[in-house]
Structure 1
Amino acid sequence: MKVEIWSDVVCPWCYIGKRRFESALREFEHADDVEVEWKSFQLDPTTVSVTQRAAGPSDAHARALAAKFGRSVEEVRQMIAHVDETAAAEGLEFHQDVSVPANTVKAHQLLHLAGERGVQDAVKERLLRAHFTEGEPLGDDETLVRLVAEAGLDAEEARAVLAEDRYLAQVRADVAEAAALGARGVPFFVVDRRYGISGAQPAEQFLQVLQRAWTESRPLTLVGQATDDACGPDGCAI
């Protein structure tokens, strides 16, 4: 079974959704047969990256969101607090007051490299934690190289990928595919190309879909002959 997940590394609900999906996967009896692929999605491709850490906690993130969505700063503060509380319930520690803006196109290119090297989930986790917990500037090349190296990628190869924009076409293809599948936001989960799940749904919902998709994709195996001790349109075997 394959699960494809479109998400962005600066999307708080994507991190929460990742944890909830992982909780469901731990309860799924066929978890060892599930392949997970992380797909690229950019919440805002026009974001201009800040390449240095924030000097300390500030309202900059709240003010930027307030300006973008036409809300008051106080409303946005309350929204951020709600997200942080939800994250904490999933065992995550968010410090969005130290998060810095980042254009994530380069981070997604490194996630494609990580997929080819078999460490995609580790790299995804490292980048999410770096942004939401540690306030690392994901728009800075050298920061990205250091982080992905910590998660198992070769630093020099990662640096070359960024210099060449090696996976830019793949990132754009992922974004276009999400639109074609009807994704209006992220996280967006596609299970065996049978079911689409939008948003950071509860773990129970993920588990139900995994179980349903597994059952539907595995036909019954016939044991014995169709005529053995059975009745059919022409009568019963004797």
Structure 2
Amino acid sequence: MSGRTFVALTLTPESPLTDWLAALDQQIARSVGFFAGKPVIVDLSMVEADTPDLATLPDDLKQRGIRIIGIEGGNRNWPATAGWDWPESPASTRAAPAQPRENTPSASTDEEHATQAKNPAHPIALVVEESVRSGQQVVWPEGDVVVLGAVASGAEVSAGGSIHIYGALRGRAVAGIGGNSTARVFTKALDAELVAIDGFYATAEEMDPVCINGPAQILLEGERLVFRPLPG
């Protein structure tokens, strides 16, 4: 037996659902492929039993290529949800305290898994010796990720701590997974599809144009991502 840690996105629908789905379509258009292959948890805490169009929500999401692995909030006994295939939600890493583990999860790509290491007393950094190619995904909840190369378009790096990219960031960087709001993203050349810290994100169109194509750091201030050029 072995354990795995993975990152799941959370979608929180709001009423009216037609407007929420339209906003979701705009997000998908801005970042094509963002939900591809990603596990998603649907949080129903912002809707009511009689919310219009609630009954068709799972089909609406499935049509957009969104794969639901869990549902939180809401009620299975609502008439609108009676016909849903209601998967059980895995425990949220944000809500529950970290439990001791014998082995840390491996950093993974679509094709391979890195060597596992013993869980240290303090977070450790994962060093990726080469560029992260399109279609690959590196996930390291145990600390920082350092990429000595670039992160290509269509690639993604996720870290429990900060992300340091010595080359260009053209794909996606997701720092502070699990609730670390002090994490940052550093890159030699910012040309990202998406950057996120502790659940707050910005797509390419929302990034500060002053930092585009240059060395930059991204940090979280309140609920807003701040982009700052790096010296040199």
Same fold (TM over 0.5): no
More strand per residue = 2
Greater length-normalized contact order (CA 8 Å, ≥ 6 residues apart): 1
Query: TM-score, normalized by length of structure 2?
Result: 0.29
Query: TM-score, normalized by length of structure 1?
Result: 0.28
When Rg is computed on C-alpha atoms for both structures, the one with the higher figure is: 1
